[in-house]
Amino acid sequence: MTQIKASAASASAAANSDELETEILYLAKRHRVSPAIVREIIRRSGNSERGSVEREIEKGKARR
């Protein structure tokens, strides 16, 4: 039974990972930055919410 729960949890984590990667690629294309920059912003802020990531991208663009 625990193997079933573990496999279900790993499948759920994989789905969340795919959704996050899709979101990263979308934000990178929309704001014309590399996906690595978006990943770094998410890593530093600890928040993968779209609005907060977009604000951080805009702050970075304002500094340039």
DSSP secondary structure, 5-52, as one string: HHHHHHHHHHHHHHHHHHHHHHHHHHHT--HHHHHHHHHHH----HHH
Residue 1 has pLDDT above 60, yes or no: no
Give yes or no for a contact between 55 and 29, defined as CB atoms under 8 angstroms apart: no
**What 3-state DSSP class applies to 49?**
coil
For 23-52, what is each residue's pLDDT tens digit? Answer: 999 999 999 999 999 999 999 999 889 999
Domain limits, the chain: 2-63
Tokens standing for 11?
Answer: 């499948």
Tokens standing for 25?
Answer: 């690629």
In sequence order, what are the residues at sequence separation of 6 or more whose Cβ sits closer than 8 angstroms to the Cβ of residue 61?
Answer: 31
For 9-20, what is each residue's pLDDT tens digit? Answer: 656 666 788 899
